[in-house]
């Protein structure tokens, strides 16, 4: 039977959060049990922002971002990208090809005039510089 949830993939079941748990803890626990095929941009944004199940979720996020770099969860255009760019270099260790594909898309994005968010632009430039240093 194919792996369908993060819990199945990681073979680790988180206990139900207690009554005093934050909304974020409850949401992350729910998302670990949600079928991966049903994940939304917002679900990916939340989990990657918390660095939960990165090896499982980052490839999915990159596939979305290559098609739509400013894909939007519930916050603002580019919120998924912002969380992906914040991940440590180690998150990309087995994703060299996907990282290069994303870098190509982001290079075109910063070259265009449509990206007005200066902070996001700076994050992209740092990511591209890191990609260059890894490749070179």
- Residue 42 clears pLDDT 70, i.e. is over it: yes
Residue 112's pLDDT is what?
77
Phi, psi of 124 (to 5 degrees): -65, -45
More confident residue, 115 or 18: 18
Output the average pLDDT for the chain. 91
Which carries the bigger pLDDT value, residue 20 or residue 82? 82
How many C-beta atoms surround the C-beta of residue 94 within 10 A? 12
Long-range contacts formed by 126-129: CB under 8 A, 24+ apart: 126/85, 127/85, 127/103, 128/103
Q: Which residues of 20-41 are buried (b: 16+ CB within 10 A; e: fewer)?
A: eeeeeeebbbebbebebeebeb
What pLDDT, on a 0 to 100 scale, did the predictor assign at position 117? 83
pLDDT band at 86 (very low <50, low <70, confident <90, very high): very high
Give the percent of the chain with pLDDT over 90: 69
Model confidence at 95: pLDDT above 60: yes
pLDDT value at 13 more than 70: yes
What pLDDT score does 3 carry? Answer: 64
H/E element, 130:
helix 118-135
d(CA 69, CA 64): 7
pLDDT value of position 2:
66
pLDDT of residue 118: 86
Query: Cα angle at 23 between 18 and 28, to 5 degrees?
Result: 85
Q: So what's the pLDDT on residue 136?
A: 56
* pLDDT attached to residue 116: 78
Which two three-digit tokens encode residue 26?
């409850």
Structure pTM?
0.90
DSSP of 11-55 = T-PPPPPPTT--HHHHHHHHHHHS-GGG--HHHHHHHHHTT-SHH
């Amino acid at each position: 039977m194919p792996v369908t949830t993060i819990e199945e993939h990681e073979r680790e079941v988180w206990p139900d959060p207690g009554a005093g748990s934050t909304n974020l803890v409850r949401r992350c626990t729910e998302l670990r049990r949600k079928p991966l095929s049903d994940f939304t941009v917002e679900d990916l944004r939340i989990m990657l922002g918390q660095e939960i199940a990165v090896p499982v979720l980052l490839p999915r996020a990159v596939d979305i971002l290559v098609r739509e770099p400013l894909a939007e969860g519930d916050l603002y255009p580019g919120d998924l990208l912002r969380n992906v760019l914040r991940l440590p270099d180690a998150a990309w260790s087995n994703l060299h090809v996907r990282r290069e594909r994303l870098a190509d898309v982001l290079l075109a994005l910063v070259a265009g005039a449509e990206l007005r968010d200066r902070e996001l632009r700076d994050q992209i430039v740092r990511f591209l510089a890191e990609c260059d240093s890894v490749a070179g």
